[in-house]
Chains A and B, each alone.
Chain A
Amino acid sequence: MSTLAKDNEHDHDHKPTGLKRWFFSTNHKDIGTLYLIFALTMFFVGGSMAMIIRAELFQPGLQFVDPQFYNSMVTVHALIMIFGAVMPAGVGLANWMIPLMIGAPDMALPRMNNMSFWILPFAFALLLSTLFMDGGAPAGGWTMYPPLVLQTGDAFPFLIFAIHFLGVSSIMGAINIIATVFNMRAPGMTLMKMPLFVWTWVITSFLLIAALPVLAGGVTMLLTDKYFGTSFFNAAGGGDPVLFQHIFWFFGHPEVYILALPAFGIVSQIIPTFARKPLFGYASMVYATASIAILSFFVWAHHMFTVGLPIKGELFFMYATMLIAVPTGVKVFNWVATMWKGAMTFETPMLFAVAFVILFTIGGFSGLMLGITPVDFQYHDTYFVVAHFHYVLLTGAVFALMAAVYYWLPKWTGYMYDERLGKIHFWLSVITSNVLFFPQHFLGLAGMPRRIPDYNIQFADFNAISSIGGFSYGLTQLLFVYIVIKCAMGGKKAKAVSWEGAKGLEWCVPSPAPFHTFETPPKLTKEMLEH
């Protein structure tokens, strides 16, 4: 391992300078960094909208914003967090790490990689510009259900084109990942020897290619309904608004796994490192990931049990939903079994990974509850749903992304981050996020509907607690930015193998990873493939 690190120290490390380096970059590491910075920026933009939501809900009654603007905040917060923060952060990690993990010199299609990224700022400029338009930003929810969404003012075409651009960017990114993994692996890096992070990204990429065109098709049909006189979703013209819900959730449920599978991959890298044991059940992890991906296309209607589906349909989607718990359970079991009798230490990445396993499982269980048809009739469109998906996406996906940043930051910057501050960030995050979202289960069970700026006095206490958790969580993330910047500026030098138990090809190159790596395919040893 050390030999390879030394070899790579001689890699010519000359790189372009100035703005050109970033605008015209075709280097996977630079593009990965751009994605990660963009995602973090969007995380704060979307987060500030969440703060507005929580400020309004701190007390019953209308305090700060009018209901229309509140609905816009709910809608744009979701779109930004999903398409602007979590997805780009995952793609950023994929860009940085996949070539390093499989021994490739770069992504397969570097110029397309540049284009995939640079579409994003334009797409979000389109979306965010709607905040300043007549009629305000889109306010019909991120699900864009007609006929409500068709009442959007000037913002409507901007929303639709932004979604199209985001889709194009993600599909190009997915194609690049598949081509890289299929064609660029170092000799000896067979598919079943790839790190699990790479596997989860390959499977996610296929999900993206299959699911995003469906969303694009659906929103194109919305556009033609509004401006070209079609009636796809207009009951008065012979169309069916429920058809859009089918289309949306045929995309929307795989989208949940597009956000979650890379998180599974990250955790599958981190737990073995800090348990100092190989991942338990590697092959079963790969098959479980593929099973989850396939099953995700057969459960979409569990999001729409209350629209009046035939009973047989409801039963089918209920049982199919239950079935997803099996491969997901396999994964949770394997992570726990990896930790079992391991020589564990709890550095910040491991803390976030363990929190992910516990809290994502809580989100999974509340998802199971919602997947039971008669139960969903009670919980549908309540705060229980909001609590559920935030456990999956924030304490799930975002915690895994945070874990990944702490885990690979030494490889990216060449310095160790401040472990004491990292642990403070973790504990504050885990406490505040639970104060923020756990009471929302109770609110939902008590009947508080989602997407409302005002509520009955009986919900006041839990909302106040939730808002305090929200503000605290938001402030805590400023500490994360400080830790990352501090680490990038300097600190204790990181070794090539930055963590004692770290295995895999990415740890064979020096820290920071040189600008060009693996220009000659590495000769893989058994030790390099142990992960």
Chain B
Amino acid sequence: MNKKDNVKEQLGKKNKKLAFFLGMIALSFYGIFVLMHAINE
């Protein structure tokens, strides 16, 4: 694997990590929100 491919792969991993983190934030907003009201109910 040459250096350019390695950089590309690293960047891909970094992008996926950030996307996963942001996705989890969105999901937790949704989950916590519905759960909070369900408990209240």
Contact A179–B26 (Cβ < 8 Å):
no
Contact with A along B1-41 (1 / 0, CB 8 A): 00000000001001110110011011101100110011001
Does A214 lie within 8 Å of B29, measured CB to CB?
yes
Which one of A182, A210, A216 contacts B18 once the chains associate, using CB atoms below 8 Å?
Answer: A182
Q: Is A329 an interface residue (CB 8 A)?
A: no
**Could you tell me the distance between the alpha carbons of A109 and B19 in the complex, rounded to whole angstroms?**
8
Q: A92–B25 Cα gap in the complex (Å)?
A: 24
Looking at chain A's contact residues, is the secondary structure mostly helix, strand, loop, or mixed? Answer: helix
**Chain A residues whose CB sits within 8 angstroms of the CB of B41 once the complex forms:** 230-232, 238-239
Q: Determine whether the beta carbon of B37 is less than 8 Å from that of A221.
A: yes
Q: Sort chain A's interface into a size bin.
A: 20 to 34
CA–CA, A139 and B16, complex, Å: 40
A217 to B37 CA separation, bound complex (whole angstroms): 9
Query: Which B residues are in CB contact (< 8 Å) with A212?
Result: 26
Residues on A with beta carbons closer than 8 Å to the beta carbon of B27 = 213
Q: Which residues of B sit under 8 angstroms from A217, Cβ to Cβ?
A: 29-30, 33-34, 37
Task: Looking at the assembled complex, report how far the CB atom of B16 sits from the nearest CB atom of chain A, in whole angstroms.
Answer: 7
- A98 lies within 8 A of chain B by Cβ: no
- Bound CA span A128–B24, Å: 31
What residues of chain A lie closer than 8 Å to B14, measured between beta carbons? 183
Which listed residue (A176, A209, A220, A230) contacts B26, Cβ 8 A?
A209
Residue A97 CB within 8 A of the other chain: no
Question: Known contacts being A183-B11, A213-B26, A213-B29, is A176 close to B19, with CB within 8 Å?
Answer: yes
Quick one: which of B25, B26, B34 has the most chain A CB within 10 A? B26
Docked complex Cα distance between A499 and B24 (Å)? 42
Task: Please give the distance in Å from A149's CB to the nearest CB on chain B.
Answer: 17
The answer to whether B15 and A179 touch across the interface, beta carbons within 8 angstroms, is yes
CB distance from B32 to the nearest CB of A (A): 9
- Answer whether A175 and B37 are a contact pair too, CB < 8 Å, given A183-B14, A214-B29: no
Assess the B18–A183 pair: CB atoms within 8 A. yes
- Contact at A108–B30, with CB atoms within 8 Å? no
Q: Are B15 and A109 in contact (CB under 8 A)?
A: yes
Contact with B along A210-253 (1 / 0, CB 8 A): 10111011001100000000111000001100010000000000
Taken together as a complex, chains A and B put the C-alpha atoms of A489 and B30 apart, in Å, by 46
Inter-chain contacts of B18 with A (CB < 8 A): 108, 175, 178-179, 182-183
Judged by a CB distance under 8 angstroms, whether A112 is at the interface is yes
Give the CA-CA distance A447 to B15 in the complex, in Å: 53
Which of A112, A179, A209, A238 has the most C-beta atoms of chain B within 10 angstroms of its own C-beta?
Answer: A179
Is the Cβ of B34 less than 8 Å from the Cβ of A220? yes
Least distance between B27 CB and chain A CB atoms (Å) = 7
Digitize A195-221: 1 where CB-to-B-CB distance is under 8 Å, 0 elsewhere. 000000000000001101110110011
In order of increasing CB-CB distance, the 7 nearest A-B pairs are A213-B30, A213-B29, A217-B33, A108-B15, A175-B22, A217-B34, A179-B15
Residues of B within 8 A of A (CB): 11, 14-16, 18-19, 22-23, 25-27, 29-30, 33-34, 37-38, 41
> Beyond A176-B19, A183-B14, A220-B34: 13 further Cβ-contacts under 8 Å?
A108-B15, A109-B15, A171-B26, A182-B18, A184-B11, A209-B22, A209-B25, A209-B26, A210-B29, A217-B33, A217-B37, A232-B41, A238-B41
Point out residues on A near B: beta carbons under 8 Å: 108-109, 112, 171, 174-176, 178-179, 182-184, 209-210, 212-214, 216-217, 220-221, 230-232, 238-239, 243
A-B contacts, 20 listed (Cβ < 8 Å): A108-B18, A109-B19, A112-B19, A171-B26, A176-B19, A178-B18, A178-B22, A179-B18, A183-B11, A209-B25, A209-B29, A212-B26, A213-B26, A213-B27, A214-B33, A217-B30, A217-B34, A217-B37, A231-B41, A232-B37
